[in-house]
Chains A and B, each alone.
Chain A
Amino acid sequence: MRSVTKAYRPISWPTLGAGGDTGSWRVHRPVVNHELCTKCQFCWVYCPEAVIDRKKITIDYRYCKGCGVCAVECPTGAIAMEKEE
């Protein structure tokens, strides 16, 4: 990392999981009941983590922090928060 000729700056690059595998923070896991889901995309638009696929309404559990906003905002009650084991 030494640099006398090529000055080195504190630079960072865009990376998924810049905060680590944040799914490990989860206490409750959102689970989608696809029979109740109307694909209104409210869960997708309110997800602070961008872990919901807006077409399939599936969740990337590697990074989902389990905040539960999607479950609260779902107008048909299609997302349940289940305790992580």
Chain B
Amino acid sequence: MKTAQVMMATGANAAALAVKSARVDVVPGYPITPQTSIMEAVAAMVENGELHARFIPVEGEHSVLAAAVAASAAGARVFTATSANGLLYMHEVLHMASGGRLPVVLCNVNRGIFAPWTLWADHQDSFSQRDTGWIQYHCSSNQEVFNTILQAFRVAEQINIPIMVNFDGFAISHCLMPLTVPAQEDIDRFLPPHQPEWRLDPNHPSSFSNVTMASEYAPFRQMLSDDIMAAIPLVKQAAQEYKDCTGMWDGDSIETYRLDDAEVVAFAVNSMAAELKLSVDILREQGIKAGLLRPRLYVPFPTEDIIQALPENAQVMVLDRNYNFGHPGGILAAELKSVLFGRRNDVIVKNRVMGIGGIDLTRRFMAEQILEMMDDKKGLL
């Protein structure tokens, strides 16, 4: 390991620095709060020559991803970023990227969805894109954003599936935290150059995504589904080898904290999960055996790792920063319950929705919520 550079950086800057470290070729972009600062930083790096890439300032998010997938099909390493309604505007092209097996990496800076307008974080945007065939990471710190983008490029290009790296608007994107940027040599060791086995090439003409009959279409979809499941070992391998190359670790498919002997387990993603570690400490001080399980992956859902990691007879408190409309709680709880059903009947799952539209989630508030949920005999099941 060479000498790393340590600095103060916002989450947005961390993302931009990861783009530089990944030696990305093409970045189409369009501003949307709170993602804008990533695009501004990338555009500046391209302009001043720090990053040898093309920044394409297109006219909307649909075009952002349309340019991204096409550049990827031409053989380039492609990054872009968006938030909330920008992500929703991309929805159609998200499907094209995954169905076309184009390994684009996209940062979604989580923000609540219009209407009415809000600028601040919740997780409705990324969770509502669950079924687009993208792998989804959710990050809890600026450093993890940096690390995950590099890991995402590696996994995406190994398996030809696009990856969405999610983190909270403002709480991460605009907050300064210490950031360690490993030496370029170490990153290059971890992330080899992009060498797609197929690209648009006049020397070997072939076409991409003609009409298919059901007999062709169905196997393509089955393979996409199988390959997304097959990403879990690659995600773990990438996390491990990233640690070997840089010394840094954010968990692999999941991250756990004081979980081994826990009777009460907080279950959440993104920045609130980082804060929840402190809530766990507060609860422990009060004699409650609390712990944390944070899925780092949302798609594919790390079912086996969660089932293995949950202590026996645990009460799992799922703190959802989103709504599962038509059901009483949030989306994460529904996902968790569906994988535990029939396999971990010893576990009780309780659920509350909080932090919508950026409501501040402090360690004390969340510790109190967990205490209340413990007393709640019915929970919100």
Residue numbers of A with Cβ under 8 A of B are 1-4, 6-14
Contacts and interface: CB of A to CB of B under 8 A. Distances in A.
Interface stretch (B56-64, B78-86, B202-210, B286-294): B202-210
A3 B216 contact: no
B161 interface: yes
Contacts of A13: 205-207
A9 B208 contact: yes
Contact of A1 (B160, B205, B209, B223): B223
Contacts of A12: 206-208, 210
A11 B230 CA distance: 22
Given A9-B100, A10-B220, A4 B206 contact: no
Among A4, A10, A12, A13, the most chain B Cβ lie within 10 Å of the Cβ of A10
11 contacts: A7-B161, A9-B101, A9-B160, A9-B209, A10-B216, A11-B198, A11-B207, A11-B208, A12-B210, A13-B206, A14-B205
Contacts of B220: 8, 10
A1 B220 CA distance: 9
Interface in B154-208: 159-161, 197-198, 205-208
A58 B187 CA distance: 62
Nearest to B216: A10
Interface string B209-229: 110100010011001001100
A2 B226 contact: yes
A11 B206 contact: yes
A7 B159 contact: yes
B99 interface: yes
B151 to A, nearest CB: 18
Contacts of A9: 100-101, 160, 198, 208-209
Contacts of A11: 198, 206-208
A12 B99 CA distance: 15
B227 A4 contact: yes
A10 B227 contact: no
Nearest to A7: B160
B101 A8 contact: yes
A60 B169 CA distance: 63
Among A1, A2, A11, the most chain B Cβ lie within 10 Å of the Cβ of A11
B206 A1 contact: no
A9 B226 CA distance: 14
A7 B101 contact: yes
Given A1-B219, A3-B227, A10-B220, 14 more contacts: A2-B223, A2-B226, A3-B223, A4-B226, A4-B230, A7-B223, A9-B101, A10-B100, A10-B210, A11-B207, A12-B206, A12-B208, A13-B207, A14-B205
Contacts of A3: 223, 226-227
Contacts of B226: 2-4
Contacts of B206: 11-14
B128 to A, nearest CB: 25
Contacts of A6: 197
Nearest to B157: A7
Interface in B35-60: none
A20 to B, nearest CB: 13
B210 A8 contact: no
Contacts of A8: 101, 220, 223
Nearest to B73: A9
A7 to B, nearest CB: 3
Contacts of A4: 159, 226-227, 230
Contacts of A10: 99-100, 208-210, 212, 216, 220
